[in-house]
Amino acid sequence: MRILGTIVHPAASLLPVANAELAKQLEEILQDEGVMIQPYWRKVYNNFRDNVHGVEIHPMLEFHMHKWWMEKSAT
């Protein structure tokens, strides 16, 4: 495999240090050569009672109510 004019042995990608270096070089090529969409993750919050279970925040803010369940309240 040839990256940035150097020959890289396929087994080198098994080593974490070599893998990180290759990833860094590839990221630099992508950033220098073209438009790159960099995703970002915003913090999302939700509140619910202690007796409601299975509620998770979906990245697209969808509600999957078929996964929710509720136990009887102690009060």
Q: Do 19 and 3 touch, CB atoms closer than 8 A?
A: no
Residue 6 lies in a domain: yes
Residue 63 lies in a domain: no
Helix H, strand E, coil C: the string for 34-70 is CCCCCCCCCCCCCCCCCCEECCCCCCCCCCCHHHCEE
User: Which two three-digit tokens encode residue 35?
Assistant: 């438009």
State mean pLDDT over 19-42: 78
Per the model's pLDDT, the better-predicted residue between 70 and 26 turns out to be 70
Residues 11-19: contacts with CB under 8 Å, at least 24 apart = none
pLDDT level of residue 53 (50, 70, 90 thresholds): very high
Residue 17 lies in a domain: yes
Residue 12 lies in a domain: yes
Residue 29 lies in a domain: yes
Residue 27 lies in a domain: yes
- Full domain range(s) for residue 12: 2-33
Residue 41 lies in a domain: no
Domain count, the chain: 1
User: Which two three-digit tokens encode residue 42?
Assistant: 């915003």
Give the global pTM.
0.38
Residue 55 lies in a domain: no
